[in-house]
Amino acid sequence: MSHVNEWYGHFLATRAIPIKRHIANDAIDEGYALVINDLHLSKEIFFHCPHLENGGVYILIEVVEDPKQFSADQTTVAWGMIPVFPTNTAIMEYGHVPSGVISTHRISLYFGSPKALSFSPQLDTPSVGLLEVALMSHDNLKSASDFIPDFCLIGSNEDIPGLKKDDYGIQLRKPLPLPFDQFSFEDISLSFGPHAANIEKLLLDDLNTEKVYKENLSPTKKPFSDLEVMERRLRIGIHNGYTFISEPLVVHLSSIDEQLKGSHSLRRKAKGLFTKSVTDLRSEMNTLFVQSKVSINVPQDARMTVVFALDYLVGERILAGSSLHTQSIVVCWGAWRAYDVISEGGRSHASDHL
């Protein structure tokens, strides 16, 4: 083992906090509202996260000294933390507390940086100050959980795409999702141009080389087969600038050169997929397409974006129909704002770059 690997192994073994926390699939999502006094913050801060029975999740607050506004010379002068799941302590419900009468409590501020918590959960630093805060549950925020990532702190002045605007108050105080429109996509196709085979070859060469280096093996004496493309897929999801509002839809991509052989119906269908001349066989043969119609629901907000991502499933082919060490790799992606080109009940033919 090299000195670098030995050092990294020691680092992982002595961390007080795991690199990635396990979250159960059936964890209940909970919403929260945070109020901090004595700082120049705009009203409340909102977030949601799955409930963790063992706790151990904190909100960290840093007091930063900045000689010039938003400069690179910022220095942390103090910090504090608030437990998100306090044990044996009841917290107030945000929706039941009248505005302006929120009861706060004080937390200690410590000198130095909160990065020390990664190595030691015990605080041996003396308190240098106090800060008044209030953490409240916010049950109404659950209706907006699809539009905000877990543990993402959102200020009260933020405008979340996909939620109804509140011109006279705070949007996330009582968030309401906008109605949805259904969009249908037909004749989805993707073309690499005349160099698709070379693009895939370069991708696989890089992956195979990376695997050899990772295993610390000689390229001429590797004990495994080269990686191959097992499946080409297209992921289609709706993004609001913060997150995908639902799990992206995954559809299988077929290649023209695989499907057109001996199929007159597919050949006739494929001719409508190309903007170039149908005599350009190199362009036709390097095109991937979706055979079925795809329907998705999009909130009635012009800022919503349809994201397309080309996904390759690669692995080692060992027997007919079976593979080993498969992994999914996003090769490229593109974004398209559907409401910019389609009116209500309309139809449009569009193309975009990935």
Q: What angle do CA 121, 80, 23 make, to 5 degrees?
A: 55
Contacts of 68 (CB under 8 A, 6+ apart): none
Q: What is the pLDDT of residues 255-284, one digit of tens each?
A: 765 555 545 444 454 444 444 333 333 444
Provide the 3-class DSSP secondary structure of residue 174: coil
Q: What is the pLDDT of residue 117?
A: 74
Q: What is the pLDDT of residues 71-130, one digit of tens each?
A: 677 788 888 888 888 767 778 898 888 766 778 888 888 888 887 777 666 667 788 888
Q: What is the pLDDT of residues 140-177, one digit of tens each?
A: 999 999 999 999 999 888 999 999 988 777 899 999 99
Q: What is the pLDDT of residue 351?
A: 64
Q: What is the pLDDT of residue 220?
A: 67
What value does the mean pLDDT take over residues 49-68? Answer: 81
- Of 15-24, 272-281, 285-294, 340-349, the range with the lowest mean pLDDT is 272-281
Q: Is the pLDDT of residue 43 over 90?
A: no
Q: Which residue has the higher pLDDT, 224 or 57?
A: 57
Distances (CA, A) of 180 to 95, 165, 177, 336: 27, 15, 9, 17
Q: What is the pLDDT of residue 235?
A: 94
Q: Determine the Cα–Cα distance for residues 178 and 165; give it in Å rounded to an integer.
A: 9
**Which among 238, 243, 287, 244 has a CA at the least distance from the CA of 267?**
287
Q: pLDDT tier at 14 (50, 70, 90 boundaries)?
A: low
**Which among 240, 243, 44 has a CA at the least distance from the CA of 155?**
44
102: DSSP letter: -
Q: Determine the Cα–Cα distance for residues 161 and 156; give it in Å rounded to an integer.
A: 14
Q: What is the pLDDT of residue 258?
A: 58
Q: What is the pLDDT of residue 326?
A: 84
Q: Is the pLDDT of residue 350 over 90?
A: no
Q: pLDDT tier at 18 (50, 70, 90 boundaries)?
A: low
- The model's pTM: 0.77
Element (H, E) at 291: none
* Range of 132-141, 254-263, 283-292 with top mean pLDDT: 132-141
Q: pLDDT tier at 16 (50, 70, 90 boundaries)?
A: low
Q: Determine the Cα–Cα distance for residues 227 and 94; give it in Å rounded to an integer.
A: 53
Q: pLDDT tier at 12 (50, 70, 90 boundaries)?
A: low
Q: What is the pLDDT of residues 206-252, one digit of tens each?
A: 888 888 877 777 766 666 778 888 888 999 999 999 999 999 999 99
Q: What is the pLDDT of residues 183-200, one digit of tens each?
A: 888 888 888 777 777 888
Q: What is the pLDDT of residues 295-343, one digit of tens each?
A: 999 999 999 999 999 998 888 877 766 777 788 888 889 888 878 766 5
Q: What is the pLDDT of residue 345?
A: 52
Q: What is the pLDDT of residue 346?
A: 57
